[in-house]
Each structure stands twice: as C-alpha cells, then as structure tokens.
C-alpha cells in the first residue's frame, strides 16, 4: 500500500519533536544530576583535605607550644609531660597526613605533598633532637640552638600547609568554574535542541494546516465537480443556475442556458470501451472550455450530457458560442488504437430572464430544445420556443411519458399478439410477437411510435419491459397448463433501457423459474440500432440467457450499412428485416437485392429470416420465391388483444382431459 508522504512526514516530525523533548529532559536531568554529584563530591573532598591540612597545621603548632613550654620550665618531670604531649601531637599529625593521602591527588597536590613530606621528616628529626636536648644536661646554648632550628623547620612546614590549603581552594574554584562552563555548554545544547524542536513543531503545524486546507479544498472540489472532466457537477450547476436566476429576477439580467448531448458517443463507448469514452470526454471538455468565456460555467450533468451557463449573455452571442461548440465538436478527430472517430453534439438553448419561473423549468425547456435538435437531424443548435412544431411534438411525447410514469400499467397498457408465419413449410410452432399498446384518456389505442422513443429517452422503458415480460410469462404459464401440447412461442421486444441494466438477466431468470416456462418458447427481440449501441451488453445478455433456452432475434435488421459485420459478435436465431426495406421490394430493385443478400447471409450463418410489414400478396409471393423463412404483417394477420387470441386458441385446441 502506498504511504501518504504528508502523513509520513507529520508522523516522523512529531516523533522527532518527542525524541528531542525526551533528549532535552534526559540531558537536563542526567547532566544536572552529574554536576550536582560532582560538586557534592568535590566539596566533601575539599573540605576533608582542608580539614586534614588544618589538623596537620594545628598539630605542628601544638608541638611547637609543647616544645616552648618545655623550655620555660626547669622541672624535669613537667618537661617530660610536655614531651609526651609533644609526641602525641606528632601522632595526630601523622593521622591527618594519612587522611590527606587517602584522597586522589592532582600533580600539583602530589608535588606539594612530596615537598611537605621531605620537610616533615627533617622537621621531625630537629624537633625530636630539641625535645631530647631539653631533657638533657647539654649547654643552654646548644639547647636553644636546637629549639631555634626546630621552630624554623615547623614554620617551613606551616608555610607548605598554607600552600596546600590555598591549592585546595584554587582547585575547588577551578572545578567550580569548569562545572559552570560545562553547565553553560549543556544549557546551550538544551537551548539549541529546544529551538530545533520548536521550529520542527512550527513546520509540522504549518504542514498540517496546509494539508488540511488542501484536503478541505479537495473535498469541496470533489463534492462540486465531476471526477473525470473536473467540470462542475449537476448539484453545483443547479446552485449557479439558482444564483443566475436570482439576478435575472431581481436585476433584470439576461443569461443563456445550453443543454448539450453528444451524438454517436455510445458507439465509441461500446466498441472501444469506457476508457476510450472517458478520454474523448476529457478532450471535448478541453476544447469546449477554450471556446467559452472565462466566467461561463460548463458542467457535466450525466454520461454524455453537459450544461452551459452563459451569464450576462445576449441571444446573438449565446447562439454564436453554441454554434461554435457544434463546429468544434464536429471537426474534432478522436483517435484510438489506429482508428479515427467523429462525434457531434446537439444543443438546446434557452434564455433566462425575469420571466423564468424556476431552474427546473429552465432545465426542462433546454432539454426539450436539445431533444428537438436531435429530432431535426442532430449536430445543431435549437433555440427553445413554445410556438415551433418541434417543441409541440416533444411536449406531446413528454405528455405520454408523464402518463407512463404516473399511471397504473394494468389500467393503461394492454398486450396484443401478431402471428409470424412460416413461408416454406408446414408450421409446427405457432409464433407470435407480443406488441404493447397504450390507451389514451378517451380509451383509444396509441401508436407505440408516439411514446416508446420518449419513454426510452427518459429511462422509463425498463419498468414497461418488466411488466410486459411478467404478463407474457404469466400468459404462457397458464396456456401451457391448460394446453401442454399447444407449442406456442412468444417474441418479446427489449428496449435499450433494459439492455443497459446488468440485473436484467437476473430478472428474466427469476421470472422463468417463477412461472416454470417451457424451454424454447421465449424469443427476445433487440432492435439492431440498440444492439449496435450496446453491443457488449447485448452480447453478454444473449450469451447468459441462451443458457436458459431463450432465443434471440435482431429486429429492424438492414437499417445499418454495417449490419452483417456485427452478426459474428451476436449469437441470434432470427433476423427480422427492417419493414421499410420489405415494403418497397416490388418497386425498388436495390431493396430487393438487399433482402436477398440478408437471406443468403442468414443461410450461411444458420440464422432464420423474418420479413416484417408484409402488406400485400405481391410482396408475400416475392418473399416466398426468394426463400425467406417467415413473414409478418397486416396481410398475414392484424394484431389482436392477447385475451382474444387466448379465446381463439381455446377453440382450436382441445382441453388436456379430452386428449387423454
């Protein structure tokens, strides 16, 4: 897992600060403790040494006093007592000297003590002689001379002892000075470490603040922008539309709103993959942004749908910008894996003024205008106006959409059946196409062309497909329970909305199991145009459902010049030739040749051919001569309500009990 460098830096920074603070605390405590201990030890040693030197000095003085007192008295016994004290003080001197020697000595101390020891030996000898002479009968001059020599020797020792005491004081002062210097050094180090910790903490704080600010900006950006194109998303676009509407209402400003839908985008997405589609969207976003003004808002509203808000823009300028975008997109070459593609864009344009009621209404009008642009031939700009024929047409279609969306399917919809007849041999299986009909408010049937395109555009047909499938399966289940040998197959049309839903196959399998449908009696019809647009999804659905014995037909086949090339990717059982081709084969040799070519391709690929819209005997006979497998149309049979077809079957098929 890739680590976040900011988190790593912050973590290491905090760890460094903590380590520095710990080091500072450790140095402060340990070094201060060491200095205190050293100072305490130094003071104890110095005091002991000075005490020993003073004790030696006292012993020397007392020896001198004892010797002096001996010289003052003539009493032999008293002199002998003073002599005993004299030797006692000599012993005290030795003890103090040994104490002094028991401590560590510097070179200066050792040198001074060596000199002191030499003088002590000489002085001891002179003092002992003087003491002995005082107890002897030697001449007074000899005694006095020995006392004088002894006194001189003692003074020399006292002088050395004074030097020793002064040396101890100097050493003590030097150590104290060194300790102070060391303490200052430690304080400097601690100050430096503290300063380093402070600056690291400041850097980390700035880093955290900067990173938090960046993250907050990213979060706000992600919440208001599209991840792929980095354009504002629908939610943010609505906010800006609302602000623009407020200025239009309050200040009578005029803005333009464009709804843009790419043409032929799904072909690239389906044939080259979503990665190619994403790259195309990024490229188109870049070139469109170069065309609009800096303060205009370009937004991605859906997969291939965009919104454009032109604030403070006249109709003339808005039209110029919109037509410029159409030209840019149309002329843009998209290259992918050595292939070049061209797409287009249909744009619906409306003006937002103080009369605009709401942004929802504005978006709806822009969408209607875009729909009209597509209906007029795509790759163009249509300015919304309620008086034009396209707006009226679209409003009518949206009216049907509203009825589909708000009405109960059981009340509005009904299923009809139309027979599909075998031309070449006796038909053992009765094949019917399931046709959907919608009733208007007056109870009249509405043509599917009036509502299905609009319902597909607004993603409502999946629910309708589900209703058709459920009711068709229910009908078959009841029919086969009453007439197990009826051998009826139903063909059910599948819309583009259902092809784009992964869960569609799960729904079909669930209904197959629920109604216990006999294998091989269901055929799903997919319009060729929808199959091509969703070729990967179509192939996946066909592959998965064929495992459950469901057949497939390509409807309206032949409407595309590349129809044959797609057959290798789609495993279908039937090709239903586009009715516009079938209707003209009697008068148009090209259409007749196309039908023959499709029929020949079907034979080679073991696919049966169905001709739709057979409306007269001439077309019927020509198709039979050409070897077409099946025909369907008003000449064969007009669609009847499913319930009526059920009654017809009951008349021709005996009940199960009578057949046994």
Q: Per-residue pLDDT for 568 more than 60?
A: yes
Q: CA 229, CA 81: separation in Å to the nearest integer?
A: 119
More confident residue, 510 or 483: 510
**Mean pLDDT (whole number) for 495-517:** 87
Q: CA 24, CA 192: separation in Å to the nearest integer?
A: 10
Query: Which range is least confidently modeled, 148-152, 222-226, 316-320?
Result: 148-152
Within 10 Å of residue 642's Cβ, how many Cβ atoms? 19
Q: Please give the full DSSP string across 386-401, using - where no structure is assigned.
A: TTSHHHHHHHHHHHHH
The band of 609, judged by pLDDT with boundaries at 50, 70 and 90, is very high
Q: CA 637, CA 431: separation in Å to the nearest integer?
A: 12
Residues 6+ apart with CB under 8 A from 469: 492, 507, 508, 511
Give the pLDDT confidence score for residue 5 in this predicted structure.
Answer: 63
Phi, then psi, of 455 in degrees rounded to 5:
-65, -40
Is this structure's pTM higher than 0.75? no
The structural domains of the chain, ordered by start, are: 5-202 (1.20.120.1730), 234-385 (3.30.70.270), 414-651 (3.20.20.450)
415-456 pLDDT per residue, tens:
999 999 999 888 788 899 999 888 776 777 777 777 777 677
Give the pLDDT confidence score for residue 214 in this predicted structure.
Answer: 80
Longest distance between any two alpha carbons in the chain, whole Å: 183
Q: Which two tokens stand for residue 183?
A: 């303490």
More confident residue, 332 or 141: 332
Dihedral sign for Cα atoms in the order 216, 219, 224, 225: positive
103-138 pLDDT per residue, tens:
777 777 778 777 777 877 777 777 778 777 777 777
- No. of H helices and E strands in the chain? 22, 17
Q: CA 386, CA 337: separation in Å to the nearest integer?
A: 45
Q: Per-residue pLDDT for 627 more than 90?
A: yes
Phi, then psi, of 447 in degrees rounded to 5:
-65, 140
The closest alpha carbon to 553, from 523, 533, 532, 595, belongs to 523
**Mean pLDDT (whole number) for 19-43:** 68
Give the pLDDT confidence score for residue 299 in this predicted structure.
Answer: 94
252-305 pLDDT per residue, tens:
899 999 999 998 887 787 778 788 889 999 999 999 998 898 899 999 988 889
The band of 562, judged by pLDDT with boundaries at 50, 70 and 90, is low
Cβ atoms of 429 and 608 within 8 Å: the answer is no
Give the pLDDT confidence score for residue 563 in this predicted structure.
Answer: 55
The mean pLDDT value of the chain amounts to 82
DSSP state of 616: S
Q: CA 281, CA 305: separation in Å to the nearest integer?
A: 10
Within 10 Å of residue 524's Cβ, how many Cβ atoms? 23
Active site residue 304: yes
The band of 657, judged by pLDDT with boundaries at 50, 70 and 90, is very low
Out of 270, 296, 304, 629, the active site residue is 304
Q: CA 381, CA 325: separation in Å to the nearest integer?
A: 10
**Mean pLDDT (whole number) for 509-532:** 91
461-498 pLDDT per residue, tens:
888 899 899 999 999 998 888 888 888 999 999 988 78
Cβ atoms of 127 and 63 within 8 Å: the answer is yes
């Amino acid at each position: 897992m890739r680590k976040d460098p900011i988190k790593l830096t912050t973590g290491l920074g905090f760890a460094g600060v903590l380590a520095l603070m710990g080091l500072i605390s450790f140095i402060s405590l340990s070094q201060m403790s060491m200095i205190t201990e050293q100072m305490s030890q130094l003071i104890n040693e110095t005091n002991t040494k000075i005490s020993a030197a003073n004790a030696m000095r006292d012993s020397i003085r007392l020896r001198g006093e004892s010797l002096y007192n001996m010289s003052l008295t003539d009493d032999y016994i008293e002199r002998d007592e003073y002599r005993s004290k004299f030797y006692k003080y000599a012993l005290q001197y030795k003890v103090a000297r040994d104490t002094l020697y028991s401590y560590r000595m510097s070179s200066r101390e050792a040198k001074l003590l060596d000199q002191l020891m030499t003088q002590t030996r000489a002085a001891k000898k002179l003092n002992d002689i003087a003491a002995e002479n005082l107890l002897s009968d030697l001449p007074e001059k000899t005694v006095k001379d020995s006392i004088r020599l002894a006194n001189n020797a003692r003074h020399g020792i006292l002088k050395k002892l004074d030097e020793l005491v002064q040396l101890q004081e100097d050493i003590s002062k030097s150590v104290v000075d060194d300790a102070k210097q060391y303490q200052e050094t430690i304080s400097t180090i601690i100050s430096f470490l503290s300063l380093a910790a402070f600056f690291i903490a400041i850097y980390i704080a700035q880093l955290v603040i900067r990173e938090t600010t960046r993250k907050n900006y990213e979060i706000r950006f992600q919440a208001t922008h599209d991840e792929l194109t980095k354009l504002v998303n629908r939610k943010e676009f609505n906010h800006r539309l609302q602000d623009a509407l407020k200025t239009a209402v309050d200040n009578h400003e005029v803005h333009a709103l464009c709804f843009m839908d790419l043409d032929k985008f799904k072909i690239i997405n389906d044939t080259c993959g979503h990665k190619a589609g994403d790259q195309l969207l990024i490229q188109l976003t870049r070139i469109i942004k170069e065309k609009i003004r800096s303060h205009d808002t370009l937004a991605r509203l859906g997969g291939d749908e965009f919104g454009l808000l032109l604030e403070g823009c006249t109709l003339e300028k808005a039209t110029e910008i919109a037509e410029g975008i159409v030209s840019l997109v149309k002329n843009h070459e998209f290259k992918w894996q050595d292939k070049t593609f061209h797409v287009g864009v249909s744009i619906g344009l409306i003006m937002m003024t103080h009369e605009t009621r709401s942004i929802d209404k504005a978006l709806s009008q822009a969408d209607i205008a875009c729909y009209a642009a597509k209906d007029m031939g795509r790759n163009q700009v249509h300015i919304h106006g309620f008086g034009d024929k396209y707006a009226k047409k679209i409003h009518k279609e949206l009216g049907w959409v509203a009825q589909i969306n708000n009405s109960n399917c059981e009340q509005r919809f009904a299923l009809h059946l139309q027979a599909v007849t075998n031309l070449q041999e006796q038909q053992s299986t009765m094949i019917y196409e399931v046709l959907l009909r919608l009733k208007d408010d007056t109870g009249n049937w509405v043509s599917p062309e009036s509502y299905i395109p609009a319902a597909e555009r607004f993603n409502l047909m999946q629910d309708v497909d589900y209703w058709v499938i459920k009711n068709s399966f229910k009908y078959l289940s009841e029919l086969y329970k009453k007439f197990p040998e009826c051998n009826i197959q139903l063909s059910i049309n599948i819309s583009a909305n259902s092809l784009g839903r992964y869960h569609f196959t799960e729904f079909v399998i669930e209904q197959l199991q629920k109604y216990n449908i006999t294998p091989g009696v269901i055929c799903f019809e997919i319009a060729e145009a929808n199959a091509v647009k969703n070729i990967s999804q179509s192939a996946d659905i066909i592959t998965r459902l064929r495992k459950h014995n469901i057949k497939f037909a390509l409807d309206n086949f032949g409407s595309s010049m590349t129809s044959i090339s797609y057959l290798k990717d789609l495993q279908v059982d039937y090709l239903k030739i586009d009715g516009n081709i079938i209707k003209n084969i009697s008068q148009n040799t090209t259409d007749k040749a196309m039908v023959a070519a499709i029929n020949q391709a079907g034979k080679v690929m073991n696919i049966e051919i169905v001709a739709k819209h057979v409306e007269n005997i001439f077309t019927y006979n020509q198709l039979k001569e050409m070897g077409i497998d099946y025909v369907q149309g008003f000449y064969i049979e007009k669609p009847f309500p499913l319930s009526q077809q059920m009654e017809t079957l009951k008349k021709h098929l005996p009940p199960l009990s009578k057949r046994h």
